[in-house]
Structure 1
């Protein structure tokens, strides 16, 4: 997944968002269901979908949802959990 583009205007399906966030598409759908991730909308406020009818999400919103989820879980990428004594 290319994260070098404009994350504000890049739109992803749940599968693409999951690949970028390192989770399963089910997790992305849960983020949407729980209100952590909102579907991208047109200027008129209508939810955006691709030609197959799948909901689309702004890349920046996916990155923010993933980051917030990791912070809530107190986990970070690449940092091993501390051993308890």
Structure 2
């Protein structure tokens, strides 16, 4: 059986902030393996797998591209 670690240590090991661990759980990339009181616990190998999956996803999905056109400004009006 693998040792279980808390969210802060999991974040530190993956090089992210604890909010990222919570986001991975919310998105289904990471599942808690247990809990201690209200604190969720994770397997380190699961944390690393979620981190690898996050790197494979294209960055900025749903966000406007830097320097992209916002739909306002100098563009001529259609018509």
TM-score (norm: length of structure 2): 0.67
Aligned partner of 2:32 in structure 1 is 39
**Higher RCO, 1 vs 2 (CA within 8 Å, ≥6 residues apart):** 1
Aligned match of 2:7 = 14
Q: Provide the C-alpha distance between the structure 2 equivalents of 1:34 and 1:28, rounded to a whole number of angstroms.
A: 10
Q: Which runs of 5+ in 2 are unaligned?
A: 60-79
CA RMSD, aligned part only? 1.6
- Cα shift readout 1:21-79 (whole Å, capped 9, x = no counterpart): 00000000000011000010xxxxxxx212x42000111100100011112247xxxxx
17 and 73 in structure 1: CA distance in 2 versus 1, 3 angstrom threshold: farther
When the two structures are aligned, how many residues end up with a matched partner? 59
Runs of 4 or more above 2 Å deviation: none
Q: Which runs of 5+ in 1 are unaligned?
A: 1-7, 41-47, 75-85
Name which one, 1 or 2, has greater alpha-carbon Rg. Answer: 2
